Amino acid sequence: MENQDLIKQVTEKAQKWLTPAYDAETQAEVKRMLENEDKHDLIEAFYKDLEFGTGGLRGIMGVGTNRMNIYTVGAATQGLSNYLLENFKDLPQISVVVGHDSRNNSRLFAESSAQIFSANGIKVYLFEDMRPTPEMSFAIRHLGCQSGIILTASHNPKEYNGYKAYWDDGAQVLAPHDKGIIDEVNKIASAADIKFKGNDALIQIVGEDIDKAYLEAVRTVSIDPEVITRQKDLSIVYTPIHGTGAVLIPRALKDWGFENVHTVPEQMIPDGNFTTVVSPNPENAEALSMAVALAKKLDADLVMASDPDADRVGIACKDDKGNWVLVNGNQTCLIYLYYIITQYKKLGKMTGKEFVVKTIVTTELIKKIADKNAIEMMDCYTGFKWIAREIRLFEGKKIYIGGGEESYGFLAEDFVRDKDAVSACCLIAEVAAWAKDQGKTLYELLLDIYVEYGYSKEKGISVVKPGKSGADEIKQMMTNFRNTPPTEIAGSKVVLVKDFQTLKQTDGEGHVSDIDMPDTSNVLQYFTADGTKVSVRPSGTEPKIKFYVEALAPMPTRGDFAGAEAAADAKINAVLKSLGAE
What is the rounded CA–CA span in Å between residue 92 and residue 121? 10
**For residue 278, what are the CA distances in angstroms to 39, 155, 244?**
29, 11, 18
Element (H, E) at 210: helix 208-219
Concatenated DSSP letters for 25-65? HHHHHHHHHHH-S--HHHHHHHSS----BTTBEEEEBSSST
Peptide bond into 176 cis (omega under 30): yes
Q: ∠ at Cα 74 (71, 77), nearest 5°?
A: 155
Q: Please list, in sequence order, all residues whose beta carbon lies within 8 angstroms of the beta carbon of residue 279, skipping any fewer than 6 positions away.
A: 155, 156, 157, 286, 287
What is the rounded CA–CA span in Å between residue 414 and residue 169? 10
What is the rounded CA–CA span in Å between residue 405 and residue 512? 28
Helix axes 70-87, 106-119, angle to 10 degrees: 40
Burial class (CB in 10 A: 0-12, 13-18, 19+), 439: exposed
* Nearest alpha-carbon partner for 336 in 439, 249, 221: 221
What is the rounded CA–CA span in Å between residue 331 and residue 449? 10
What is the rounded CA–CA span in Å between residue 156 and residue 154? 6
Beta bridge partners of 487: none
Q: Is 154 a catalytic residue?
A: yes
* Nearest alpha-carbon partner for 127 in 229, 289, 253, 247: 247
Q: Count the helices and strands in the chain (H runs, E runs).
A: 18, 23
Q: Which of 95, 106, 154, 222 is catalytic?
A: 154
User: Where are any strands of DSSP class E within 269-367?
Assistant: 302-306, 313-318, 324-327, 354-359
User: Where are any strands of DSSP class E within 388-475?
Assistant: 399-405, 409-411, 455-464
Burial class (CB in 10 A: 0-12, 13-18, 19+), 6: middle
What is the rounded CA–CA span in Å between residue 77 and residue 72? 9
What is the rounded CA–CA span in Å between residue 18 and residue 461? 42
Residue 144: other Cβ atoms inside 10 A:
8
User: Where are any strands of DSSP class E within 19-155?
Assistant: 57-60, 95-100, 123-127, 147-151
Residues annotated as catalytic are: 154
